Structure 1
Amino acid sequence: MVTTVAERPVAAEGEAAVLRDLIAYLKRRDYHFITPTPATHARVLARADRHRAADLRDVFGWSLPFARDLLEASLLEALGAADLIEAAGDLLRSKVRVSTLGPDLLVHSAYPTDDTDAVFFGPDSYRFARFIADELRRCPEREGSTLVDIGTGAGAGAIAAAHCCPKVDIVMTDINPAALRLARVNAQAAGVAARFVQGEDLSGITGALDLVLANPPYIIDPAGRAYRDGGDLHGAGVALAMACEAVPRLAQGGRFLLYTGSAIVRGADALHDRLVQLAAAEGCRLRYEEIDPDVFGEELETASYADVERIALVTAVIERARPY
């Protein structure tokens, strides 16, 4: 089912207003926080001096419990009214984190991201945004082009692209309504105009597409969390499905920009081979690059990765040539 997200219930709009105010508040206080991997986050919080928040970075970055008097009373009241804080023993805890991405602050789920509808942001988000910026600096999109960010999450990809090409028509999609609510907040705070479509595919978007962005999950997640579970092909299944849907929809000169991971089995990269076949079948060009040869090595200790040598981070650009 596909739903265009328009007017939200009053409670959700109240939450959005509080989150926009929170971003503005943190910007005025020169707040900066770079979100690490969950494993690094856990290691930092395990330190003896990291059990209680001492400042805004501890509250909204490290997700540490905090005392009521650490935040201004008006901010605390607004967060409480929007159900954005929760009790943590005698202390309180924010339900959201706020991370720096270039000139922007993006709000996403608090650590740990255990909920099935968690909205994730982390090192992959930074690499994805950099990949988009590098590609669009090399070849900017034309004014009026249609840009779709599939599975937008917190909106990092579309926002990064909008800063490079501000006069494109942006659509953010996600199967997770919580992600779309936060992506809307983040886009508005970044000054990015966009449409928001809830759905698991591109059926809610009509016409040819000039630029499609995708940063799908690429790890097999036993819990089945949508933001982390990449499906079959050792976690590359979601990435391949997105490519198979998006590439046939590309306009002449259109591009599909993919950032993801791929499991290497006996030296072979199954995702690369499938994308080569897809590009050839669609008469498109493929540029594929392995940008990091070895990530999430701990996954190789699980049964799902018993035959995998390594998990590589990869980027792919599939482009439909313009007629001459």
Structure 2
Amino acid sequence: MTHHPDSSLGELLTALKARNYRFVTPTPATHARIVARPDRREARSLADVLGWSLPFAPDLLDADIRRLLDAAGALEEAEGGLLRSCYRVSSLHDQLYIHSAFPTDAEDSVFFGPDSYRFADAIVAELEGCPRRHGAQIVDIGTGAGVGAIVTATRCPDASVVMTDVNPRALRLARINARAAGVEAQPLLGADLTGVEGEIDVALANPPYIIDEAGRTYRDGGGMHGGEVSLDMARMALPRLAPGGRFLLYTGSAIVRGEDELHQALIALAGDHGMSLRYREIDPDVFGEELETEAYADVDRIALVTAVVTRPD
């Protein structure tokens, strides 16, 4: 029987869970350093294949895993008669997530990394109090691999969950990840919230926040030294919040001569809508290598921040 590629990828996640597969995805810079080591030229384990994206000998994997990868069309030829997976699989909390293989050079790459873990932890901390409104709706804006939607749905099972993205490939993998996690979430292709019906109780966003010279959607945060996409997501989410609703933003913000432009813009935006803002730095200095580029010539540092905007009841 021929399986649909999506079904095969879903079965792959199930099979990997049964094998207690684990892989924590590092930053792209760390990943590149590791796979450049002489002893990492060829895969020796399942994590080397599906985590480190190393080429592997055809007989390395067990028959079931190899069959599922073949059925999903997830293998490509590498040099020396070796094979390479087109996907990575990472573990976060109790779930597995399939996403793009390293390196993520393509414009439609589906990214997963350290920000995914921090975003998930921020959601868990914020959703100790799930929305109580009957028919509550949670929207993960720019869902990527589906982390926000899945983490939220497992903690607030009575809410309906929508995951949006401009990248069809991201929505495809998010849907596969959600099904494998036993989560019902509605995928919605689009750059705004016009396709979301009704009020939103919790809107989530983990947007790109770095200026990307290649303009890759998953990485480029636009103007404001990478803060523009974050602010745009806030602008679209706040008018849609239900009474007592919240917008949770995890992102990065460039600090220029001691000033946080994104923070100031969010203060003004929240005030315009009569809403309250909680904002804090959770890491004062990330992606320091970006400061060597022309686009960041006037930037002191890039901080990781969380912002929660709440509409009054």
The TM-score bracket by the shorter chain reads over 0.9
One-letter code aligned to 1:29 = R
Any conservation in 1 of the 2:12–2:68 contact (CA below 8 Å)? no
Whether 2:44 is the aligned partner of 1:54: answer yes
Corresponding residue for residue 212 of structure 2 = 221
Corresponding residue for residue 20 of structure 1 = 10
One-letter code aligned to 1:130 = D
Alignment of 1:1-324 (within 5 A): 14-89=4-79, 90-137=81-128, 139-142=129-132, 144-322=135-313
SS in 2 for 1:58: helix
Any conservation in 1 of the 2:140–2:163 contact (CA below 8 Å)? yes
Deviations for 1:125-177, whole angstroms, at most 9, x for unmatched residues? 0000000000001x222252100000000000111111211110000000000
- 1:272 & 1:186 partners in 2: Cα distance? 33
SS in 1 for 2:123: helix
Deviates most, 80-89 or 218-227: 80-89
- 1:24 & 1:177 partners in 2: Cα distance? 23
Deviations for 1:197-246, whole angstroms, at most 9, x for unmatched residues? 00011111122111100000000000111000000000000000000110
SS in 1 for 2:59: helix
Ranges in structure 1 where 5+ consecutive residues have no aligned partner: 1-10
Corresponding residue for residue 3 of structure 1 = none
TM-score (norm 1): 0.94
- 2:64 & 2:122 partners in 1: Cα distance? 39
Identity %: 61
Deviations for 1:96-132, whole angstroms, at most 9, x for unmatched residues? 0000010100100000000000000000000000000
- 2:212 & 2:54 partners in 1: Cα distance? 26
- 1:93 & 1:14 partners in 2: Cα distance? 20
- 1:290 & 1:75 partners in 2: Cα distance? 42
SS in 1 for 2:47: helix
Q: Which runs of 4+ in 1 moved over 6 A?
A: none
Any conservation in 1 of the 2:8–2:71 contact (CA below 8 Å)? no
Would you say how many aligned residue pairs link Structure 1 and Structure 2? Answer: 310
Residue 74 (structure 1) shift: 4.3
- 1:141 & 1:218 partners in 2: Cα distance? 28
One-letter code aligned to 2:251 = T
Deviates most, 82-91 or 227-236: 82-91
- 2:65 & 2:290 partners in 1: Cα distance? 41
Deviations for 1:55-74, whole angstroms, at most 9, x for unmatched residues? 11001001000111011334
- 2:25 & 2:69 partners in 1: Cα distance? 22
- 1:233 & 1:39 partners in 2: Cα distance? 24
TM-score (norm 2): 0.97
SS in 1 for 2:39: coil
Residue 265 (structure 1) shift: 0.4
- 1:81 & 1:194 partners in 2: Cα distance? 25
